[in-house]
Amino acid sequence: MKQAAYQYIDESDRDILYPIYEDQAICPKVVETLGFDVNEVVDKSLNKITKVFTLGKYPFKSITFVGLGDSKEITTKKLRDAFAVLANQVETPSSFDAKRAVTQTIDIEKITGLFVETYLVATYRETKVERPGKIIADVTVMAPDHDVQAVIDEACHYAEGINHARDLANCPANIMTPKKIAKIAKAMAERYDLEYKILDKKDLEEMKAGAILAVNKGSDLKPYMIMLKYNGAGDDPYTALIGKGLTFDSGGYNLKGNSYGMKYDMCGGADVIGAMEIIAANKMKANVYCIVPATENLVNGSAYKPQDVITTMSGKTVEIVSTDAEGRLILCDAITYAQSLGAKRIIDIATLTGACMTALGGVYTGVFTNSEAFYEKFEQSLKMSDEKGWRLPVDPAYFDMLKSDSADFKNSAGRPGGGASVAACFLEAFVDEGVEWIHLDVAGIAHRDSQGATGEMIRSMVNIFKN
């Protein structure tokens, strides 16, 4: 997407996308040229679209107005929502008149960035296998007296990272295998000149990564631990973004009643790859590891079983209560690996528990932490990103539910309630003293029936490096 040289509206040869507030009047010149008071036919209420045809009075065919409601009540979240509605109405080459949406508190640079990112994310469509995806209409941005091309470029990078993550997660599990994810991550690292390491099964065996290896035992496909490294802040401490890369989850011997939708169990892994792409493309001042433990969780004669005891990479032993509580197992080895690399802050993201989905539905991400200071930074990032997170407790009482006679602790407490917090407490047990940690349970928001993978929380993971 590019910035257009600003023209008076009557000089443009592209259809116009015109944001308008209820407490504003439409440009008098437009009213004069069209020959009637357009204010009387345009619905300026929030998210309302009114398309007016120019009938030859302009060199372009139409002006599409998007209502923004009261300018004193507008927020960046409301603007994102309105621009998403507008984006799905655009069918022809068009120009977005950014200056019309400017308020006393939201400048033209912010408007431009919000529109560009929203347009590209909102018009994303899942690509059918071996068929081209939807070709979106060409849109430029008009921003008089402002050079906003850098803002446009940054917003494009955000949208590209988010949509890339959605592509990965939407891809069928027979195609998006652990090896395929590793190949894509390697290609991305080479594109942005990042350091990387792809640990295969032999490497994991040498590292005694017993948790991911146990989960992998039922699959014919080999597991991988994928690591990308971005250095943009000199000697500053590293933050690790860790994403669950379960390319398909049958539940193992605790077989799921319905495993349709389980190709999305790798959304966390896809999201951290997308986040890393944004960080690298925008050359952010941050030091970041991206780590994805990738495997399937299937059933065969070698698969791990309830009441097995496994030894994790950390050396801690775990009694298996449920083979369907596998995400926390592959993540615990990834957390240990991140700390071995020197990471001092960790954000892990996973479609981890049905309990979190039951508690928060498809509205909020469950957020868990061991650090008030780190949480405050992440909360600021949530607000900046217009994404919804709800803090849930990490408490020793939940970890007590994991007591085991056979091992250091269990991987599940069954169904006594509080499953999302129990899972978070399991992960916290692998976080070293002095390491700040946030766990994001995106089971309810990572994908939706109407749109597939959402890419939600990618912005918040990236924007924490802007705080």
Predicted local distance difference test score (pLDDT) of residue 11: 61
Q: Are residues 272 and 396 in the same domain?
A: yes
143 in a structural domain: no
Q: Are residues 110 and 213 in the same domain?
A: no
8 A C-beta contact, residue 444 and residue 270:
no
pLDDT at 272 over 80: yes
Q: Are residues 104 and 186 in the same domain?
A: no
pLDDT digits (tens, 9 = 90+) for 32-56: 999 999 999 999 999 999 999 999 9
Cβ atoms < 10 Å from Cβ of 236: 12
pLDDT at 4 over 70: no
Q: Are residues 251 and 334 in the same domain?
A: yes
Residue 23 amino acid letter? D
How many angstroms separate the most distant Cα atoms in the chain?
83
159 in a structural domain: no
Read off the pLDDT of each residue in 274-292 and give the average, rounded to a whole number: 98
Predicted local distance difference test score (pLDDT) of residue 416: 73
Which of 93, 123, 153 is the last residue in one of the domains? Answer: 123
pLDDT at 444 over 60: yes
Q: Are residues 234 and 330 in the same domain?
A: yes
Read off the pLDDT of each residue in 276-296 and give the average, rounded to a whole number: 98
CA distance 58 to 76: 32
Domain count of the fold of the chain: 2
135 in a structural domain: no
Q: Are residues 349 and 233 in the same domain?
A: yes
Residue 462 amino acid letter? V
Confidence class for position 367, pLDDT limits 50, 70, 90: very high
8 A C-beta contact, residue 455 and residue 167:
no
Residue 288 amino acid letter? V
383 in a structural domain: yes
CA distance 439 to 105: 33
156 in a structural domain: no
Q: Are residues 111 and 212 in the same domain?
A: no
- pTM assigned to the model: 0.95
Q: Are residues 109 and 212 in the same domain?
A: no
Query: Which residue among the candidates 44, 180, 244, 328 is catalytic per the annotation?
Result: 328
Q: Are residues 227 and 106 in the same domain?
A: no
Predicted local distance difference test score (pLDDT) of residue 382: 98
Domain range for residue 7?
2-123
The CATH number given to whatever domain includes residue 38 is 3.40.220.10
Q: Are residues 84 and 210 in the same domain?
A: no
Q: For 218-239, give the DSSP string.
A: T-SSPPEEEEEEEE-STTPPPE
Cβ atoms < 10 Å from Cβ of 186: 16
The CATH number given to whatever domain includes residue 440 is 3.40.630.10
**Half-sphere exposure at residue 137, Cβ-oriented, CA atoms within 13 angstroms:** 19
pLDDT at 442 over 80: yes
Helices (H), 306-347: 327-340
Query: Which residue among the candidates 110, 256, 305, 316 is catalytic per the annotation?
Result: 256
130 in a structural domain: no
SS3 content of the chain, % helix, strand, coil (to 5): 35, 20, 40
Residue 373 tokens, joined: 């200071």
Confidence class for position 453, pLDDT limits 50, 70, 90: very high
Helix (H, G, I), strand (E, B) or coil at 390: strand
pLDDT digits (tens, 9 = 90+) for 143-202: 988 899 999 999 999 999 999 999 999 999 999 999 999 999 999 999 999 999 999 999
142 in a structural domain: no
CA distance 386 to 460: 8
Spatial CA neighbour of 266 closest among 184, 342, 193, 368: 184
Confidence class for position 126, pLDDT limits 50, 70, 90: confident
pLDDT at 6 over 80: no
Q: Are residues 386 and 444 in the same domain?
A: yes
pLDDT digits (tens, 9 = 90+) for 309-351: 999 999 999 999 999 999 999 999 999 999 999 999 999 999 9
151 in a structural domain: no
Predicted local distance difference test score (pLDDT) of residue 417: 82
Residue 318 amino acid letter? V
Which of 123, 158, 185 is the last residue in one of the domains? Answer: 123
Q: Are residues 50 and 187 in the same domain?
A: no
Which of 123, 154, 185 is the last residue in one of the domains? Answer: 123
256 is catalytic: yes
